[in-house]
Amino acid sequence: MASHWLAAAQAICGADYVVDGPAIEPRYLEPARYAPGCAAGLVRPATGEQVAALVRLCIEHALVLVPQGAHTGLVRAGTPTDGERHLLLSTDRLREVFEFDPLDRTLRVSAGYRLSEVNERLAEHGLSFAVDLSADPSIGGMLAHNTGGTRMLRHGDVRANVLGLTAVLGEGQVLRLGRGLQKDNAGLALQQLLIGSSGALGIVCEAVLRLQPLPRQRAVALVAVSSLDAVFPLYQQVMGSELAGLVSAFEGISRPALEAGVRGGRSPFEGPLPEYALLIELASELPAARLNLNALLLEQLEQAFGTLVADAVVGADEAIWGLRHSISEGLREQGRVIGFDISLPRRYFMRFRAEASAWLASEFPPARVADFGHLGDGGLHFNLVWPHGEAPPDAQRLRDGVYAIVAALGGSFSAEHGVGPQVQDSYWAWTDPAVQALSGAVERVFDPRDIFGTTCFGPKNNAIVLSLRR
Ligand SMILES: Cc1cc2nc3c(=O)[nH]c(=O)nc-3n(C[C@H](O)[C@H](O)[C@H](O)COP(=O)(O)OP(=O)(O)OC[C@H]3O[C@@H](n4cnc5c(N)ncnc54)[C@H](O)[C@@H]3O)c2cc1C
């Protein structure tokens, strides 16, 4: 069986870029935080035409094509799991196009480029693709999961920073969507359907990115708030001040998450670690000689000192971001991490923490809450540490309980990591059936033969769609 598609795929991509299941290098099968998957084979096309030919090959051989970029996604959507039917398509050789337009401040770029490479090459022009995170994803993967990141508050998510894309759809047709124009209201923005589609609607081969000026300076503070009740008043104070337009990150970190970030080292504050801390960052295109961001940030915090702010460390930006980015790894050293990537209206943030923590204490006593996240944009990594050696919890009941509280407070079960097998059940449980039905209809238009990916946005039968039409 396998040899049929293997020879045909080798004819498309070249013999060196196609391997069958047992020969696949582990990194393509091992996702960032989950158990390894398996696939019938791996293909590594170098052009959009090769991708289109591979789609037609999959139709012919009844294979499912699973696109994969840098494999840093956190919902297992880029990991194949069927050794007979899943053909893994790595985009790591999709690197044909890198067209920088300095006047429009756009970059047309192939999906296989990594974010770090793009930004290294743009730095000499004083520009960047400003969606920023501690992983190094591919451009295609960022579009497929609509990545948010730590500076979303200032620059928006991928959706807000993509002006067009080229994709191969489910019959092998190549579609160019959006013209890369800043203004373009000449029809439906279909490219927005592919952004955030977790590889289920088509394979993104190219994107046109909107670029932002690279800041010449950043000022960062790690702030110990006086109490949990001070967090959002301080947020309002900063965002209501004349500094608002300079704020590029506003992250929240609970004490257990701080402990994990410090990893046994000294408290960054004079006293012990506080119950809750904030990471506040300002950024500007003006150099420090013209605008002293550190002084402005310090002045702003001093106004709240003794009321909302108990202590603050300003200026050591690498050390502070280093602490923030070490949290996930530090937590994994303490036990098994059960993560919830949720978002909430800001007004219910603290209520959610209190209600969810109380429910967990009564229903799952071993779970230790160690939350942190992009609080400024309403995102929360509500992470639980489950001690090594404890019998695993009933994962379904745990998820249902936490998401029920999220839903009751008007929140989302997936803030920025997207939808994939890891949260597929939650998608079915917590997404409006009418939305699922319409999404399924869209999926069938883009991918009528159900050839793409591991994620599903709509029921496989038409019953709900038909009832919606009536
Ligand atoms: C340490 C760490 C920190 C992170 N921080 C953040 C964060 O702050 N914010 C955030 O939003 N995410 C974060 N992530 C998650 C992850 O980095 C993003 O989801 C990223 O966009 C995934 O890109 P990737 O290239 O690794 O995609 P992959 O993991 O390879 O794939 C992800 C999805 O995209 C699909 N896909 C990949 N390429 C294509 C393509 N060309 N066409 C169609 N579909 C495609 C795959 O099928 C899959 O569904 C973090 C991950 C790690 C490990």
Mean pLDDT (whole number) for 311-325: 90
Say which residue the tokens 């993104």 belong to. 204
- Asked if the model's pLDDT at residue 40 lies above 80, the reply is yes
According to the 3-state scheme, what is the secondary structure of 28-61? HHCCCCCCCCEEEEEECCCCHHHHHHHHHHHHHH
What is the per-residue pLDDT for 32? 85
Ligand 1 nearest atom to the CA of residue 66, by list position: 47
Mean pLDDT (whole number) for 219-228: 97
| Residue 104 near residue 180 (C-beta atoms within 8 A) | yes
What is the per-residue pLDDT for 317? 82
Amino acid at 183: K
- Asked if the model's pLDDT at residue 467 lies above 90, the reply is no
pLDDT 10s digits, 267-294: 899 989 999 999 999 999 999 999 999 9
**C-alpha triplet 286, 292, 298: angle, nearest 5°:** 135
Which of 96, 133, 139, 146 has the most ligand 1 atoms within 8 A of CB, as the residue to mutate?
A: 133
What is the per-residue pLDDT for 265? 80
- Asked if the model's pLDDT at residue 466 lies above 80, the reply is no
| Residue 449 near residue 228 (C-beta atoms within 8 A) | no
Beta bridge partners of 379: 343
| Ligand 1 within 6 A of CB of 111 | yes
> What is the C-alpha to C-alpha distance for residues 125 and 44, in angstroms, rounded to an integer?
31
| Ligand 1 within 6 A of CB of 416 | yes
Phi, psi at 429, each rounded to 5°: -75, -35
What is the per-residue pLDDT for 3? 61
What is the per-residue pLDDT for 263? 84
pLDDT 10s digits, 386-408: 999 999 999 999 999 999 999 99
- How far, in Å, is the centroid of ligand 1 from the Cα of 145? 6
Q: What domains are there in the chain, each with its CATH number? A: 2-90 (3.30.43.10), 98-213 (3.30.465.10), 217-326 (3.30.70.2190), 339-425 (3.30.70.2740), 431-469 (no CATH)
- Asked if the model's pLDDT at residue 2 lies above 70, the reply is no
Mean pLDDT (whole number) for 101-109: 98
| Ligand 1 within 6 A of CB of 204 | yes
What is the per-residue pLDDT for 316? 72
| Ligand 1 within 6 A of CB of 280 | no
Which of 44, 51, 58, 68 has the most ligand 1 atoms within 8 A of CB, as the residue to mutate?
A: 68
Q: What confidence category does residue 461 fall into, taking pLDDT thresholds of 50, 70 and 90?
A: low
Q: Tell me which residue has its CA closest to atom 8 in ligand 1.
A: 149
DSSP state of 126: T
- Asked if the model's pLDDT at residue 459 lies above 90, the reply is no
pLDDT 10s digits, 112-156: 999 999 999 999 999 999 999 999 999 999 999 999 999 999 999
Percent of the chain with pLDDT over 70: 97
Q: Tell me which residue has its CA closest to atom 27 in ligand 1.
A: 141
What's the chain's average pLDDT?
94
What is the per-residue pLDDT for 426? 95
- Asked if the model's pLDDT at residue 463 lies above 50, the reply is no
pLDDT 10s digits, 326-380: 999 999 999 999 999 999 999 999 999 999 999 999 999 999 999 999 999 999 9
Q: What confidence category does residue 266 fall into, taking pLDDT thresholds of 50, 70 and 90?
A: confident
- For residue 361 the two structure tokens come to 């204490």
Backbone Cα Rg of the chain: 23
The DSSP line for 287-306 is -TTT--HHHHHHHHHHHTBT
Q: What confidence category does residue 464 fall into, taking pLDDT thresholds of 50, 70 and 90?
A: very low
Mean pLDDT (whole number) for 209-233: 97
Phi, psi at 168, each rounded to 5°: -100, 125
Ligand 1 nearest atom to the CA of residue 374, by list position: 8
| Ligand 1 within 6 A of CB of 134 | yes
- Asked if the model's pLDDT at residue 470 lies above 80, the reply is no
Which of 33, 113, 138, 205 has the most ligand 1 atoms within 8 A of CB, as the residue to mutate?
A: 138
- Asked if the model's pLDDT at residue 469 lies above 80, the reply is no
Percent of the chain with pLDDT over 90: 93
Mean pLDDT (whole number) for 42-61: 98
| Residue 346 near residue 378 (C-beta atoms within 8 A) | yes
- Asked if the model's pLDDT at residue 465 lies above 80, the reply is no
Phi, psi at 375, each rounded to 5°: -55, -35
Q: Tell me which residue has its CA closest to atom 35 in ligand 1.
A: 199
pTM, rounded to two decimals: 0.95
| Ligand 1 within 6 A of CB of 138 | yes
What is the per-residue pLDDT for 105? 97
- How far, in Å, is the centroid of ligand 1 from the Cα of 201? 16
Q: Tell me which residue has its CA closest to atom 50 in ligand 1.
A: 135
